[in-house]
Amino acid sequence: MSVYLDYNASTPIDPRVLDVMIEVYRNDPGNADSRTHDFGEQARKVTENARKQIAELLGVTPEEVFFTSGSTESNNIVIQGLKDYAESTGKKHIITTAIEHKSVLNTVKYMESQGFDVDYVSPDLSGRVSAEDVLSRVREDTLLVSIMHVNNETGTIQPVKEIGDALADKDVFFHVDATQSCSKLVDQIRDLHYDMLSMSAHKFRGPQGIGALILRRRNYKLPPVKNVYFGGQQEHGLRPGTTPVALVAGMGKACELAQAEYKEEAIENKAIRDEMLNLLKKEGVRYELNGDPQYCIDSTLNICFDGVSSEALMLSTKQYCAISNGSACTSRSYDPSYVLAAMGIPVEKIESSVRISWGSGVNKRNILDNFKKMLSVIISLAI
């Protein structure tokens, strides 16, 4: 049986999260905004409890947490939602990176079509952008800097701490896409200066279809992000639509578990990574790591297997390991990864590269046995 090693695309739901959700589905049929009966009141209690659990994980206040359907929506709201403010202040310059998720890249592309000027900062071969490069582009009319914390394809940690510190006393909003980091780099996130942050429950053993946008107060004021579509007053009108109470409760529980277990998980993730790297060396396979390992999280390896097509590799080893070559949102296209291309990796190496990602709840022995079997097939494929 194949082992699932595509956690950066989506993680299996934790049974304890599922239990909480089933409870809610069974017992709490109310709408969290109904005021006329106890069912509404109970749904609201469940929702507010989850908001608190998220706030506690991140070290923010519950009033700064807004539920969305996931990071794609959070990223869209945060960028498009600043449009009115930008128009009224004349600040229409955005700085981002060339390796953001498509939900940022395609949103800023849309903003360009609306008269905004966007700077795309490229990383070097390490997979990181330089904080100086980002900061040197800040201008009088810069509205927003949007940088991901951890890249989904390479696992590379971006210098958001340095950038956030430098922007803290500037009149520029700083958005961090923390989709791949919020349950892992918990201490680092609590220590960050940012105005907005995106997160998504299905990346840390919560359900798909729920996430949050964090808006932090500066001098008691929330950033001037407006709703991008219209409806009721849910989430203070920022994200209208009936609150999906069971999903929200599941996300809250996933945050509670992350908070209790992130240190232990980090140790397990690192042990798996170390053993995978040992096996790569021991089995004599020709490979290179994409992204400088000193900046990578311990739950992702992006590996170039010299002389092996990644498509052939994934097909012929799929009975052992479920892996990918690029983010799931772009994997239907056969174009080489834009993230690896932006790092300056040549196309033939990109076409030999795969991403392996894991996380809590995995069976380490099972993973390593299957990884070893995968390597023996790769050796036979190498030209």
Q: Which residues are catalytic?
A: 329
CB of 328 to ligand PMP, least distance (A): 6
CB of 184 to ligand PMP, least distance (A): 13
CB of 76 to ligand PMP, least distance (A): 9
Query: Can you tell me whether residue 232 is helix, strand or coil?
Result: coil
CB of 374 to ligand PMP, least distance (A): 23
Distance between CA atoms of 144 and 79, rounded to whole angstroms?
8
Which residue in the shown chain puts its C-beta closest to ligand PMP? 70
DSSP 225: -
Q: Is 324 in the site for ligand PMP (CB under 6 A)?
A: no
User: Segment near ligand PMP (CB under 6 A), from 50-58, 65-73, 217-225, 282-290?
Assistant: 65-73
Distance between CA atoms of 229 and 237, rounded to whole angstroms?
9
Among the listed residues 76, 179, 302, 337, the single contact to ligand PMP using CB under 6 A: 179
CB of 315 to ligand PMP, least distance (A): 22
Cβ-count burial 64-81 (b if 16+ within 10 Å, e if not): bbbbbbbbbbbbbbbbbb
The C-alpha angle with vertex 319 and arms to 306 and 284, in degrees rounded to 5, equals: 35
Q: Is 31 exposed, middle or buried (0-12, 13-18, 19+ CB in 10 A)?
A: middle
Distance between CA atoms of 307 and 242, rounded to whole angstroms?
51
Residues 200-239 contacting ligand PMP, CB under 6 A: 200, 211
Q: How many residues does the chain have?
A: 383
- Binding mask 105-144 toward ligand PMP (x if CB under 6 A, else -) reads ----------------------------------------
Q: Is 327 in the site for ligand PMP (CB under 6 A)?
A: yes
CB of 203 to ligand PMP, least distance (A): 7
Q: Is 148 in the site for ligand PMP (CB under 6 A)?
A: yes
Q: Is 180 in the site for ligand PMP (CB under 6 A)?
A: yes
Distance between CA atoms of 221 and 99, rounded to whole angstroms?
31
CB of 7 to ligand PMP, least distance (A): 11
Q: Identify the residue whose tokens are 């519950």.
A: 62
User: Segment near ligand PMP (CB under 6 A), from 174-182, 186-194, 256-264, 280-288?
Assistant: 174-182
Distance between CA atoms of 129 and 10, rounded to whole angstroms?
25
Residue 339 Cα distances to 32, 100, 126, angstroms? 40, 8, 12
Q: Is 71 in the site for ligand PMP (CB under 6 A)?
A: yes
Residue type, 183: S
Q: Is 103 in the site for ligand PMP (CB under 6 A)?
A: yes
Query: Can you tell me whether residue 374 is helix, strand or coil?
Result: helix
Q: Is 255 in the site for ligand PMP (CB under 6 A)?
A: no
Neighbours of 319 (CB within 10 A): 12
Q: Is 72 in the site for ligand PMP (CB under 6 A)?
A: yes
Distance between CA atoms of 230 and 228, rounded to whole angstroms?
7
Distance between CA atoms of 143 and 336, rounded to whole angstroms?
32
User: Segment near ligand PMP (CB under 6 A), from 24-32, 66-74, 129-137, 234-242?
Assistant: 66-74
Q: Is 290 in the site for ligand PMP (CB under 6 A)?
A: no
Q: Is 70 in the site for ligand PMP (CB under 6 A)?
A: yes
Q: How many residues touch ligand PMP (CB under 6 A)?
A: 14
Q: How far is CA 175 from the centre of its chain?
A: 13
Q: Which residues bind ligand PMP (CB under 6 A)?
A: 70-72, 101, 103, 148, 152, 177, 179-180, 200, 211, 327, 329
